[in-house]
Amino acid sequence: MVELDVRGPVATITLADEARRNVLSRDTLSELHAALDTVDDNAEVRAVVLTNRGRVFCAGADLAARANDGGAPGAGLSDFLSRVRRSPTIFVGRIAGHCVAGGVGLAAVMDISLALDTAQFGFSEVRVGVAPAIISVVCVPKMRAGDAREAFLRGRRFSAVDAARLGLINAALPADELDAEVDAVLDDVLAGEPTALAAAKALTYGEPGRSFDDALAAATSLSNDLFARDAAREGMAAFLEKRPAAWVRHWPPERSS
């Protein structure tokens, strides 16, 4: 149901339960967590691509199973979203199909998400008697309040272009451009130093409730710590000497040859 392919610094996780539209079944969520375990244990991996087989990226919850068991807990999905959010690894979404309900949460939690321009998105939960509760935590911060309210309440489908306009993904692309843009994103990410990337990722989330002065003091301390590292000295030397820094890797791998 979930396939994992590791090629040097990039791991690709593929939702492969095509016959069931890649629903978030217990088995799929378990295999997603297992894939993250493998990635976490591989120090060479610096970026993860999440993608799909078939015409549907992810159709959300396994409604058949939930109807039978009276409503399964959502811990598997919430834990997965939390792991992606807190991971120092950079996650890139390659959304090559329709993306509904919980699937939108998967797309939104990625650090950078690119989708086929023919993909349809939607928060369909209210039409089956529930609400997009878990995924609201990763979707609402990316959206204007009015846009989130309309999308959640109407429950209708909208295009990948609209998903990008709403901030849920970064871009909607034609089929013949999607893979090239994913490769370009990976190439950019692999030019960054891993600890610096992790720090930059964390900065985009901030800390709600922290005062301006406290936030500025913490940012100054972080900046000083980063500049004091050997990696920063290497990066600045590489810049001045007009050469790649020691950590730079290229994607696709053929570019390195």
Q: What are the pLDDT tens digits along the chain (257 aa)?
A: 999 999 999 999 999 999 999 999 999 999 999 999 999 999 999 999 999 999 999 999 998 887 777 555 556 999 999 999 999 999 999 999 999 999 999 999 999 999 999 999 999 999 999 999 999 999 999 999 999 999 999 999 999 999 999 999 999 999 999 999 999 999 999 999 999 999 999 999 988 788 999 999 999 999 999 999 999 999 999 999 999 999 999 999 875 54
**Residue ranges matching CATH 3.90.226.10 in the chain:** 2-188
Active site residue 125: yes
The one catalytic residue among 44, 125, 177, 193:
125
Contacts within 8 Å (CB) and 24+ apart, 178-185: 178/94, 178/96, 178/114, 178/115, 178/116, 179/94, 181/114, 182/49, 182/92, 182/94, 182/114, 183/251, 183/252, 185/92, 185/112, 185/114
Which CATH topology does 194-256 take? Answer: Lyase 2-enoyl-coa Hydratase; Chain  A, domain 2 (1.10.12)
CATH class, range 2-188: alpha beta
Cα-based distances in Å from 206 to 34, 81, 201: 28, 17, 10
**Residue ranges matching CATH 1.10.12.10 in the chain:** 194-256
- pTM as predicted: 0.94
- Give the Cα separation of 30 and 32 in Å (integer): 5
